[in-house]
């Protein structure tokens, strides 16, 4: 059975709707490579098309390491506002190397977002 990875705040809580959220990843891969791209998709259902993702994040820089790779992806407050409080969402992380090799680093992600208490953003 695949392990489910739950996204949580550093305090172990669910993320709040309407917040800017930095996801910091440390991924160990079996073969050293130079990483050039990563995708992070959040979906209502695992079988949803990528075009139907609630939020799709992508980066093409900021990778550190070749076998233990660290990087950060950021979701804006506008993007995190697209989720519904208390609902469960699936997410997956895919990476691409400079040789063109593509690897799904995490495929069974799970996330829940809390309702916001404060609406202010400016």
Q: Are the beta carbons of 114 and 98 closer than 8 angstroms?
A: no
Q: Are the beta carbons of 118 and 81 closer than 8 angstroms?
A: no
In angstroms, the CA 54 to CA 89 distance is: 9
| Predicted model pTM | 0.87
Burial code (b: 16+ CB inside 10 Å, e: under 16) for 77-100 equals: eebbbebeeeeebbbbbbbbbeee
Structure tokens at 75: 């979701």
Q: What is the pLDDT of residues 25-58, one digit of tens each?
A: 999 888 899 999 999 999 999 999 999 999 999 9
Displacement of CA 51 from its chain's centroid (Å): 16
Spell out the domains of the chain, with CATH numbers in brackets.
Answer: 5-114 (2.60.40.10)
In what helix (H) or strand (E) does residue 78 lie, and over which residues does it extend? helix 77-80
In angstroms, the CA 106 to CA 92 distance is: 5
Residue whose tokens read 């695992």:
46
Q: What is the pLDDT of residues 63-101, one digit of tens each?
A: 999 989 999 999 999 999 999 999 999 999 999 999 999
């Amino acid at each position: 059975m695949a392990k489910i990875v739950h996204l949580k705040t550093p305090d172990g809580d669910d993320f709040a709707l309407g917040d800017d959220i930095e996801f910091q990843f440390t991924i160990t891969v079996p073969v050293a490579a130079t990483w050039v791209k990563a995708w992070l998709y959040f979906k209502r259902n695992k079988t949803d098309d990528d075009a139907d993702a609630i939020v799709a994040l992508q980066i093409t820089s900021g990778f550190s390491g070749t076998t233990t790779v660290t990087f950060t992806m950021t979701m804006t407050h506008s993007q995190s506002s697209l989720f519904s409080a208390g609902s469960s969402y699936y997410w997956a992380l895919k990476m691409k190397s400079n040789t063109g090799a593509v690897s799904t680093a995490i495929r069974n992600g799970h996330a829940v977002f809390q309702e916001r208490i404060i609406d202010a953003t400016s």
